[in-house]
Amino acid sequence: MSISLQAELRQRKPFAGLEQEAMLSIARTAALLEHAMAEALKSHGLTPTQYNALRILRGAQPEGLCRNEVRDRLIARVPDATRLLERLGEMGLVVRAREGEDRRFVRARITRAGLELLAGLDDPVQRLHRKQLGHLGERKLRTLVDLLAEAREQS
């Protein structure tokens, strides 16, 4: 049997309601999973948000995306997508170029170095995900995915 969130947090008082317990359980689980991901990426000089942006740009090749399109697709919202892309550019993982008649429009594309970095991370990240969630099995994972999608619809 799994340890309850209340016991894990060493909380003596009961939660205000089941919704609060569920919300805190989602937040706690996300924090633990995110921390493990951050640790796995640290030796490669990436944050989870930078990794997410690179994966987005890999999926958008060869056209690339403008800053707002990257921002809107990120898992975790960031206040400054321009700075995120600039940092990835400084690392040699992304190139940005002004295109078209509107000189304000800047398109970001992943570089060969970015593609190679992601290719080297694909298997380790997949192994991490299997380690974190694989024990749940396909049926429970599908249920979890569906329940979380339903919860996001209300947000």
Second CATH level (architecture) for the domain 17-153 = Orthogonal Bundle (1.10)
Question: 56 versus 8: which is more confidently predicted?
Answer: 56
**Mean pLDDT for all residues in the chain:** 93
pLDDT tens by residue, 7-49 = 888 888 888 999 998 999 999 999 999 999 999 999 999 999 9
CB 15 within 8 A of CB 6: yes
pTM of the model: 0.89
Mean pLDDT value of segment 45-66: 96
**Domain spans of the chain?**
17-153
pLDDT exceeds 90 at position 136: yes
Question: 103 versus 150: which is more confidently predicted?
Answer: 150
Q: How far, in Å, CA of 121 to CA of 129, rounded?
A: 12
pLDDT tens by residue, 70-80 = 999 999 989 89
CA atoms within 13 A on the CB side of 32: 13
